Structure 1
Amino acid sequence: MTYNSPFDPRSNSLNAIRLILALLVVVSHSWALGGAGPEPELGGANLGTWAVFGFFGISGYLITRSRLSGHSVRQFYRARFLRLFPGFFVSLLAVAFVFAPLTKLWDPTGSFSILDQLGYILRNVLLYPPVLGQYDIGSTLSAVPFPDVWNGPLWTLFWEASCYVLIGVAASLLPRRILGPSMIATLLAAAVATFAAEHTPALPLLITRTLPMLAAFAGGAVLFLYDEKFIRRWAVPGAAGLILVSVMTNTATTLAPLPFTYLLFVLSAIIPFRQVGTRFDVSYGVYIYGWPVQQVVALIAGDSLPVWLFVALSVAGTLPLAYLSCRFIEQPALLFKNPRGPVPVRTGAR
């Protein structure tokens, strides 16, 4: 396949790309969690932000395709729930009842109660909702460089699920000829609002962090809805040029989500890693377990490790948990998304 061919949902390397993006999130957090100082940025965005652009853009494409594939609304929401929630909920249990108690081995001064553990689960059970969410479990993480936060990245899951609802409702209410322009309008509005929010210091950080994700998701939806429009010889150099401009002007959060997503799909059609993740797609597990593992590494080693070693230990500790999550939680849960039995999908949305 080349970038002049339509995206083939049965033969691509998206699973490999999503795994790379999840690992980049782990790398990105290593500076803050390992106490290594400010993280390098590219175009005004760090590695984790670029990875989230990719996640949301790919989800925008795949979720829109899923919603318009002919399945009922009930099937659509059931599949999305089973893809996100079971693995997420088990990760809450693991952090509350395994990770937090284990910290006593290295920090006897840290304390917690059963109420702290139950509060962490109950207040976060709705996918880490804003305002209501609880990041700490007693004082179990008071001795690390980035204290009192057990799983920072999970706040994005609430907004990803919100995007699922957005495209689900939009596809139910709007005809296909209106849905495309609506997603373009959403993309443009989110991009303009992102630029305005970043130049308005009084706005809450939650708004400035959420708008680029909406732009990326809408961009992915636009890519699906106008698939053939992007099959042009100038599309790849045009996308690369727009990313270059965003990097040079520090406007990546405003300009990069759509072209970055497009280039990821182009890359997925070119690189020869189609077998990665076909049996066990561990990218979601890496995303939900990376931060807790890194906090334990930081608790044990403090801020004495160089970044590369902190990354290596974090990845080594995360991948087994990601495999267990995929093999024993995520895959069994997905068996229930089709009432007539499991249907293998090569590019199931995160």
Structure 2
Amino acid sequence: MNQAANTHRENNFDFVRLIAALSVLFSHQFALHALPEPIVLKYQTLGGFAVMVFFAVSGYLITGSWHRDPNLRRYAIRRLLRIWPGLACAVLLCALVLGPLVTELPLRAYLSDPTTHSYFRSLIFWIQPFLPGVFPHSPLAYIPNGVMWTIPIELRCYGYLAILGMLGILRFRWALLALLAGTAIWYYGIHGAETVFDQTHQHLFEVEYATFFFSGSCLYYFKDIWSSRSRKWTGTAISVAAGTLAYVTGHLLVAAFFLVPYLVIAFGTSSIPVIRRFGRFGDLSYGVYIYAFPIQQTTLWATPELNIYQHLAIAIPVTLVFAWLSWHLVENVALRYKPR
């Protein structure tokens, strides 16, 4: 997923994001083999749990970006330069390279199909997941890239943050915390997110992921309270205690809300030798996230006789190569044009 640039040699965020992206890859491999995805705390697959991590980290780092330069035009340009070039490249490669290679339709029919034309709406963040005739025998048929639906949600979180900034609410951190608390009480309590999921197997992802994003925002604005080494241990104890209480009382989604943002941000802002150097080859997490699914679909299509772990053994290194190329040839090149 997409965060403000950070000095990877001073913290662990590159490691956190890369592990989260690889967790999404691992989780989706089960779905592509028509197997149940690993579940974390009952209400989320491993991939969904990793997206929670992404949103918490993003909230922390993007809020820092806004705080350092609360200019709407420059903020919007930075966010678009981080998200759109990689997204555009992945969309075009899927539609114009992968699609014609794997579709069962004649090339002329594929290119003239309205579904193909609709797929290009993803370039303006109107995500259309299907391409005609591609991977028809996959458990997730006709979907070349099944992860992009989360990107517009993150983009809207960026927008919500900017609106709060323009309204002046971000100058009052307790007001931001009160808004987060009210949203969380409504979603997890009054709305009853867990009960709704038990009955319908549906999440309100827009709200759910926003609670993780703005938890990261609050942690940024309150970092003077928790970020020292000694206080991190106190915060960890409080987070674990709250999460454990929610867990033992049967509220596992609430437990994730109490545990993920603080523990992930506390770990990410730390600096552990070896781990803090995971970004020395570039920030590969976004590339892993946007290229893993089409690579996994293609691997399964080309080698259907292999088992899930053999497919993983192929997909992981190939995805890392694509992510490295994406960072060095597309994403980092675009970031050079960020306004300063």
**Which residue pairs with 1:42 in the alignment?**
40
**Which residue pairs with 1:287 in the alignment?**
289
**Shift of residue 191, structure 1, vs aligned partner:** 5.4
Q: Distance in 2 between matches of 1:316 and 1:243?
A: 35
Residues 219 and 258 in structure 1, CA contact (< 8 A), matched pair in contact too:
no
**Secondary structure of 2:149's aligned partner:** helix
How many residues are paired up? Answer: 324
**Which residue pairs with 1:226 in the alignment?**
222
**Which residue pairs with 2:211 in the alignment?**
215
Q: Distance in 1 between matches of 2:247 and 2:140?
A: 28
**Shift of residue 206, structure 1, vs aligned partner:** 6.7
**Secondary structure of 2:253's aligned partner:** helix
**Which residue pairs with 2:3 in the alignment?**
none
For structure 1, list consecutive stretches of 5 or more residues without a partner in the other structure: 1-6, 340-350
For structure 2, list consecutive stretches of 5 or more residues without a partner in the other structure: 1-5
Paired amino acid for 1:16: F
**Shift of residue 25, structure 1, vs aligned partner:** 0.5
**Which residue pairs with 1:298 in the alignment?**
300
**Secondary structure of 1:147's aligned partner:** coil
Paired amino acid for 2:296: Q
Residue 136 in 1 paired to residue 130 in 2? yes
More helix as a share of residues: 2
Question: Which one of 147, 153, 157 corresponds to residue 159 of structure 1?
Answer: 153
**Shift of residue 147, structure 1, vs aligned partner:** 1.1
**Shift of residue 204, structure 1, vs aligned partner:** 8.0
Q: Distance in 1 between matches of 2:271 and 2:240?
A: 16
Q: Distance in 1 between matches of 2:290 and 2:155?
A: 15
Paired amino acid for 1:284: Y
Q: Distance in 1 between matches of 2:72 and 2:132?
A: 41
Q: Distance in 2 between matches of 1:218 and 1:183?
A: 9
Q: TM-score, normalised by structure 1?
A: 0.83
Question: Which one of 183, 187, 201 corresponds to residue 193 of structure 1?
Answer: 187
- Root mean square deviation, CA, Å: 2.7
Q: TM-score, normalised by structure 2?
A: 0.86
- The superposition leaves residues 259-301 of structure 1 with CA deviations (integer Å, 9 ceiling, x where unpaired) of 3122122223153222221441111000001111111112123
**Secondary structure of 2:205's aligned partner:** helix
Q: Distance in 2 between matches of 1:67 and 1:287?
A: 24
Residues 194 and 253 in structure 2, CA contact (< 8 A), matched pair in contact too:
no
Q: Distance in 2 between matches of 1:182 and 1:63?
A: 15
Residues 147 and 293 in structure 2, CA contact (< 8 A), matched pair in contact too:
yes
**Which residue pairs with 1:125 in the alignment?**
123
Q: Distance in 2 between matches of 1:78 and 1:258?
A: 32
**Which residue pairs with 1:149 in the alignment?**
143
Q: Distance in 2 between matches of 1:71 and 1:10?
A: 26
**Which residue pairs with 2:25 in the alignment?**
26
Residues 42 and 247 in structure 1, CA contact (< 8 A), matched pair in contact too:
no
Change (3 A) 1:125 1:251: farther
